Amino acid sequence: MKIEPNRKLDCLGLYCPEPVFRTRMELNEMQVGEILEVLADDPAAEDDIRSLVKNLGQQIVSVTRTGKQVQILIRKVK
């Protein structure tokens, strides 16, 4: 089953701390149950965003890596 995100955040070409900062800002605007797709190519982005999501009490739905690019789907749960 393919999950369709409610919002998409393109952080390609951005480096720490931009992807994490923008992900947090986007999550703040979202409603519970919505899914955010984050695209990033900063080597630190995956770990940084995983930490952010855990600290905020949200849920990572999936992480897909294609070459240097990572796609992270995050569900807002609270």
One of 16, 25, 44, 77 is an active-site residue; which one? 16
pLDDT in 10s for each residue of the chain, 78 residues: 678 999 999 999 999 899 999 999 999 999 999 999 999 999 999 999 999 999 999 999 999 999 999 999 999 999
The CATH classification number of 7-75 equals 3.30.110.40
Secondary structure of residue 9 in the 3-state scheme? strand
CB 19 within 8 A of CB 49: yes
What is the residue whose two structure tokens read 């789907």?
A: 73
Q: Is 11 a catalytic residue?
A: no
